[in-house]
Amino acid sequence: LSRLTTLISSWVKANPYLLGVNWYSNQEVNIRLINWFICWNILDASMLAKTDPVFQRFVESIWLPIIYQHCLYSRNNLPFHSTAGHQLIAGYAGLFVASSFWKFPESPDWNLFAQQGLEQEMQRQQGPNGINREGAAGSVQFITDLFLLPYLTGLRSGNPFSTLYSHQLENMFSYIAQLLDEQGQVPAYGDEGSGCLWSLDDPTPAGNFRSLLTASAILF
């Protein structure tokens, strides 16, 4: 816990809002926002702050303000639809999970906006057979996570996505199941982009594909 608070505090001090390279990419801002969402829930930070005054001061004076600034940045700096691929999905995904969980004054509007955007991009950027239109094997797991985490967040928060969204997500998982070979390896095609939304304990290239199939087996 001490290490986490030190890391976030030092990052905030070194990266004032809108200054520096770490405020350049909307996608990277949202990846960071999603990872903080994951960290917060692993820690059960809301409950922890009630029992740890030092941690509570950190949350109220540093962590929540920088989370809010990330949400503002996400909403105000989405890429243009005409040129955006997974960068746009990442923007909607980060804003949706954050506004579902943290209750800022703008959260209801942000939440509706992001959910509508994800619904649209699920149909625009995915073919009817679940194959992403970017056409790169490594991007499949990254984009699937970007659609999966909001889907799960919507279920947990009583704000589910449409049946059409759910069906298309299942198609994406079906494609992954057919894409991997018997050893769980992924054939290389496209530009081999290999972004990762978050990584807990499996650094192997195909590890996230197997993790996604586990999630899909539970969900579908």
The three-state DSSP-derived secondary structure of the chain is CHHHHHHHHHHHHHCCCCCCHHHCCHHHHHHHHHHHHHHHHHHCHHHHHHHCHHHHHHHHHHHHHHHHHHHHHHHHCCCCCCCCCHHHHHHHHHHHHHHHHCCCCCHHHHHHHHHHHHHHHHHHHECCCCCECCCCHHHHHHHHHHHHHHHHHHHHCCCCCCHHHHHHHHHHHHHHHHHCCCCCCCCCCCCCCCCCCCCCCCCCCCHHHHHHHHHHHHHC
Scanning the structure block, which residue is given the tokens 């029992």? 51
For residue 157, count CB atoms less than 10 angstroms from its CB and return exposed for 0-12, middle for 13-18, buried for 19 or more: middle
Beta-carbon contacts of 162 under 8 Å, excluding residues fewer than 6 positions away, are: 119
- The pLDDT tens digits for 120-149 are 999 999 888 888 887 788 788 899 999 999
For residue 199, count CB atoms less than 10 angstroms from its CB and return exposed for 0-12, middle for 13-18, buried for 19 or more: exposed
The pair of structure tokens assigned to 32 is 């960071």
Per-residue pLDDT, 206 = 61
Per-residue pLDDT of the chain (220 residues; tens, 9 = 90+): 999 999 999 999 999 999 999 999 999 999 999 999 999 999 999 999 999 999 999 999 999 999 999 999 999 999 876 666 889 999 999 999 999 999 999 999 999 999 999 999 999 998 888 888 877 887 888 999 999 999 999 999 999 999 999 999 999 999 999 988 888 788 877 776 667 888 777 666 567 888 899 999 999 9
- The pLDDT tens digits for 12-33 are 999 999 999 999 999 999 999 9
Residues 93 and 15: their CA atoms lie apart, in Å, by 23
Per-residue pLDDT, 21 = 94
